[in-house]
Structure 1
Amino acid sequence: MTRILVTGANGQLGQSIQRIASNYPALEFFFKNSKDMDITDTQNVAEIFENGHYHYCINCAAYTNVEQAESEQKKAFAVNAEGVRNIAENCFKNDVTLIHISTDYVFDGEKKEPYTINDKPNPINVYGASKLKGEQYIREIPGRYFIIRTSWLYSEFGNNFYKTILKKTKTDKVLRVTDKQKGCPTHAKNLANFVLGLIDSRSTHYGLHHFTDGEAMTWYGFAKRILAENGLENSLRLKKAKNYRTFARRPKNSVLATSYN
């Protein structure tokens, strides 16, 4: 039986993995939320790894509030960088393969084509910088790892753009959504299946990967898709917003070119 530690189990990806875990009978899961396991606590993490005898760790734990990260830089780096280093060091010490989830926001968005794994990162906000630092720590520590960058994650769990749009249809007569940013919406269930597929197939294609659902669109285009999927396209007016009010700078183009090796 392959033993798998999943951190950040209450997040979108963590809950999506829990939802499909029974589809992988050869895998045994140990789900830890932030209360069970604080990845910034070195002693707590060390004890969990030493006692768990895991084969894999899927690190879903992250500070993901892009806006708040601008004013909580220390906290963002504590989780997304120092916490990740803590996880990576313990994976190496305990011979555990690390699967770490990263983001399209490591790029500045100035490229017109999709970003490949060979493109040089250049984050333009604190969140992206903290996630990139976490990636760098993993690369510096010996051991087996997969770093999987994804984008615009959504699901039935937690807070995400998909759920926000549906919520706003109940209160807003006009919905204004920016068309100045382009990316690839990715359902957390699809990412979960990709991650578990790596484990189930005993993949040795270690290193950096990009995974998305593959279809590029703007936030406006995504909103239009969401309304259509839920039969709401005629229930309110959807308008393009010229300005996206945000404290954090965001990449204009963060489309990732999917690559598995």
Structure 2
Amino acid sequence: MRILITGKNGQVGHELIRSLSCLGEVIATDSQTLDLSKIDELAEKVEHLAPDLIVNAAAYTAVDRAETEQELAYKINALAPQILAEVAKSRDIPLIHYSTDYVFNGSGDKAWIEDAETQPLNVYGRTKLAGELAISSVADKYLIFRTSWVYGERGANFLNTMKRLAIDKVQLSIVHDQIGTPTWSRHIADVTAQVISQSYQQADFWQKHSGIYHLSGAGRASWFDFAQQIFNLMAAQGHSVPQVHPITTRDYPTPANRPAHSLLDNTKLKQHFGLNLPDWRISLEWVMSGQN
């Protein structure tokens, strides 16, 4: 089996190469070898690679910059997934795609289920939702994994930002009224691998399971909680860390609005595949211990 992975240099894409390499021949691409913003040539290039499975880990993820780069974000997050879905359908192969908790408006206090009403608050969320809708309307065999607050050892993410700021900051103010769940990129990749492995063993897998699933760490946290736990673990390792102060979203305005409550309900993932992720604090400790 030839598995095409897009976005190989991203947090999830990098981990997918490791997790999927035992399942088939991995063809990992980046924006140099497969640019998702070049819509006119995308289908031909994917066809040339002749994949048996497409895993689309590439995305436009600059949430604030998307407010002014709407066309580019829409190409990568909406139009490109549609084209990948069309190629997958024409080749009769599956497509796996990753989306976001930002498709929801953040109202209420209950964890979001997959068929809850979507109402994105920003351009990034709207483009990712458009990608979901395109795939679900075109593809016959597909999985869309919505995830949240993705972090890992590499890339631009909250964990690495906090570690960098800890070097020269004595005080930090972190938003405490946005709630979600940090999710380790490696766990996203490992769940993907386990689901693909299950698909090999069930002849009617894609007919039974195609759809949208929530895939995030267990538990709940604010950005303040996430930062505090990062610094607690750093302090335990002997590092100097800043003092953290909670602030409100209103105290820290950004170009793009963020959902106040984007906790995802992962029940469907467990029901269909028997899979669930550990509490985010446990995952964070594994990442920061370096024993992973």
TM-score (norm 2): 0.84
1:33-54, Cα deviation, whole Å (9 max, x unpaired): 0110012334532233323332
User: Is the partner of 1:108 in helix, strand or coil?
Assistant: coil
Native 8 Å contact 2:182 2:216 kept in 1? yes
Match of 2:243 in 1: 237
Structure 1 residues 40, 94: CA separation in 2 closer, same or farther (over 3 Å shift)? Answer: farther
The residue type paired with residue 176 of structure 2 is: D
Per-residue deviation, 1:244: 2.1
The 3-state SS of whatever aligns with 1:5 is strand
Distance change >3 Å, CA 164–CA 89, structure 1 → 2: same
**Bigger fraction of residues in helix:** 2
**Which amino acid letter does the alignment assign opposite residue 4 of structure 1?**
I
**1:135-158 per-position Cα deviation (integer Å, ceiling 9, x unaligned):** 111111142000110000000111
Count how many residue pairs are aligned between Structure 1 and Structure 2: 258
Contact 1:45–1:90 (8 Å) recurs in 2 = no
Matches within 5 A, 1:193-204: 193-202=190-199, 203-204=205-206
Alignment of 1:212 onto 2:216: yes
- SS class of match (2:235): coil
Match of 1:256 among 244, 264, 275: 264
What is residue 16 of structure 1 aligned with on the other side? 15
Once the two structures are TM-superposed, the CA of residue 231 in structure 1 deviates from its matched residue by 2.1
Counterpart amino acid of 1:257?
D
Q: Do the aligned residues in 2 keep the contact of 1:49 with 1:94 (CA within 8 Å)?
A: no
User: How do residues 1-261 of structure 1 correspond to structure 2 at under 5 angstroms?
Assistant: 2-22=1-21, 24=22, 26-202=23-199, 203-204=205-206, 205-231=209-235, 235-242=241-248, 243-258=251-266, 259-260=268-269, 261=272
Distance 2:92 2:50 in 1: 9
Report SS of the residue matched to 1:66.
coil
Q: C-alpha deviations, 1:111-158, integer Å up to 9, x for none?
A: 210000120110010000000001111111142000110000000111
Partner of 2:289: none
* Comparing 235-244 and 212-221, the one that deviates more: 235-244
AA of the residue aligned to 1:239: H
Whole-Å Cα distance in 1 between the matches of residues 181 and 216 of structure 2? 6
Equivalent-residue separation in structure 2 for 1:129 and 1:145 (angstroms): 20
8 Å contact from structure 2 (residues 172, 245) kept in 1: yes
> What is the rounded CA distance, in whole Å, between the counterparts of 2:65 and 2:241 in structure 1?
32
Alpha-carbon separation, structure 1, partners of 2:51 and 2:240: 51
Judge conservation of contact 2:70–2:123 (CA < 8 Å) in 1.
yes
Contact 2:42 2:80 (8 Å CA) reproduced: no
Equivalent residues of 2:93, 2:141 under 8 A apart: yes
TM-score by length of 1: 0.94
Cα RMSD (Å): 1.5
Give the whole-Å Cα distance in 1 for the aligned partners of 2:50 and 2:195: 19
1:190-225 deviations in whole A, cap 9, x for unaligned?
000011111112153211100001121000000011
Change (3 A) 1:42 1:239: closer
How much has 1:95 moved relative to structure 2?
1.6
The amino acid that maps onto 1:6 is I
Note the C-alpha offset of 1:234.
Answer: 6.5
C-alpha offsets along residues 229-252 of structure 1, whole Å, 9 cap, x if unaligned? 222687321111232221110000
* Matches of 1:116 and 1:125, distance apart in 2: 20
When residues 222 and 75 of structure 1 are mapped into structure 2, their CA distance, relative to the original with a 3 A threshold, is: same
Structure 1 residues 85-107: Cα deviation after superposition (integer angstroms, max 9, x where no partner): 11111111112200000000000
State whether residues 39 and 87 of structure 1, in contact with CA within 8 Å, keep that contact through their aligned partners in structure 2.
no
Q: Which runs of 5+ in 1 are unaligned?
A: none
What is the distance in 1 between the residues matched to 2:115 and 2:44? 36
